[in-house]
A and B are shown apart, each in its own frame.
Chain A
């Protein structure tokens, strides 16, 4: 079993979001970078668990990013996984990024894991695109993933509930809460990660179909209107007459 886990570098969840260069670039000043939480907590940990059950399994990590993504990849390797591949390219176009991952995934992987979305671009589309480029099934928003030979049983989120689906590998699966429990890397893992192979490959020639023109911050709130706890009826009146929300 060969598993490819897609990891992405994202700003820490507590980061203040600001932009520079006439609102055309994300302001990286003072930003802490982390592994996209969905990639780290769920898809990577589940892949490691599958390898723990079946040591013949190999787990490779792939990221599309510049050299500044390497500390994040090492941190991911400290959790587990055999080796990592960095496609040396930057970009925000999902078609471009998915094409790079698909070019790697074509190399005999049975299973590709992604997080349900990245917390920066929130497209939730890379997994679907990789699956289409590979012409294999895709299960999105998985909350449970079990493997029996080459048959996967996956529970996925649907509107107002969940459903259980069975499919034969190869496949692409996007993972969210429920698939695994977050782990903290231990010292042995951190030491081992230093010497694990991290291959750098140049990007495959691919079109870019979208580009970010500018960013905007949401308009600031006018300020909170406080109502006395002894006059709750006033809040109901405001919500009904002023906000027209109830």
Chain B
């Protein structure tokens, strides 16, 4: 018996969300008296034995050229076969872009109940109940899985990575890999930017900034904090910022440690996309802006004065 954690990587490096999934999966193994094992598909330059630090005993790798690009059909077959081979009763996948492509397929192959978007460890005191976010972050549901094998996809930034000591045993797994039916013809990555869903800090702007030409103050603050940048829906719709920065119920949902909202009133649809953030700071000149009710810290003031000061103060703090 085991808990199998699917480990995702990009450009040779294991993704942050996968470290969270490893820690989470290892904890489930401890809780259920089984061992945690990791599965890596394709070529990775990171040291796989070091994944033992997160609590996994074994790392299985399937290295095959056909796995260098994501074809959900090909991946799911390999993951499901590896799960069966390692006697997995729980499979953990990150609820990321890759995870969303494969978790449902893996669940069907294993005839396993799926909780997609989990945000806490399962409660195994009476059955197997996993808490997940619903209504776009406005609520949680406790979902019971009744099948013998369970698949959980874990929300990024919802479980803290713990690195301890340990070395995992790395082995090559021999599983037949199908030829992909999906041919990737181009990859366009925005280089130098922090992916919004992985960011620890997000700085976000709304209509209060009055126009795209005023975004400089926000970008300076983001740069000083090493933060990703985001925007409200009206800003995305007006093409002041690229639409992939739109955060909210119908945009990207984020859960950073710190979310700084500048000139955003805080409509319910926007809050749905950000209310899993640990700390929310709101800067708005309107004291009645609904966002203040959802915030931890706030400044009622003019963004054009407050934001440059904030950048300066952070610089000062870092210099100390």
Bind each other: yes
A166 contact set on B, CB distance < 8 A: 182-183, 185
Contact A125 B181 (CB under 8 A): no
B249 to chain A, nearest CB (A): 5
B185 and A129 within 8 A (CB): no
Contact A226 B104 (CB under 8 A): no
Q: Does B117 contact A (CB under 8 A)?
A: yes
| Shortest beta-carbon distance from A46 to chain B in Å | 16
A118 CB → nearest B CB, Å: 10
Beta-carbon contact of B107 and A221 below 8 Å: no
> Is there contact, CB below 8 Å, between A128 and B133?
no
Given A218-B139, A224-B293, verify A128-B313 contact (CB < 8 Å).
no
CA distance A168 to B71 in the complex (A): 13
Return chain A residues, CB-CB under 8 Å to B171. Answer: none
| Contacts A94-B114, A124-B100, A235-B297; A161 near B189 (Cβ below 8 A) | yes
Interface residues as binary, A211-239 with B (CB distance below 8 Å gives 1, 0 otherwise): 11111111001101111110011011111
Which of A11, A132, A153, A221 is packed against the most chain B CB atoms within 10 Å? A132
Contact B275 A125 (CB under 8 A): no
CB distance from A126 to the nearest CB of B (A): 7
A37 to B146, CA, bound (A): 31
Q: Report chain B residues within 8 Å CB of A238.
A: 297
Shortest C-beta distance, B67 to chain A (Å), equals 15
Q: Are B134 and A121 in contact (CB under 8 A)?
A: yes
Assess the A159–B185 pair: CB atoms within 8 A: no
Q: Interface size (A, Cβ < 8 Å)?
A: 81
Residue A133, interface by CB 8 Å: yes
Chain B neighbourhood of A237, CB < 8 A: 317
A172 to B67, alpha carbons, bound, how many Å?
A: 20
Q: Number of contacts between A and B (CB, 8 Å)? A: 278
B268 at interface, CB cutoff 8 A: yes
Choice from A127, A139, A162, A208 contacting B104 with Cβ under 8 Å: A127
B299 x A235 contact (CB < 8 A): yes
B69, B73, B134, B316 — most chain A CB neighbours (10 Å): B134
Q: CB of A104 within 8 A of chain B?
A: no
Q: Is the CB of B300 within 8 A of A216?
A: no
**Smallest CB-CB A-B distances: 6 pairs:** A229-B301, A128-B104, A209-B113, A161-B189, A125-B104, A132-B108
Contacts A94-B107, A167-B181 given; 4 further ones with Cβ under 8 A? Answer: A209-B113, A210-B115, A229-B301, A246-B201
Provide a sorted-by-A list of 26 A–B residue pairs whose CB atoms are within 8 angstroms.
Answer: A93-B113, A122-B117, A122-B133, A123-B114, A123-B116, A124-B95, A125-B116, A129-B108, A137-B73, A159-B97, A160-B193, A163-B184, A165-B185, A166-B182, A166-B183, A177-B250, A177-B251, A210-B115, A213-B129, A216-B139, A218-B140, A232-B309, A233-B316, A236-B310, A236-B313, A239-B281
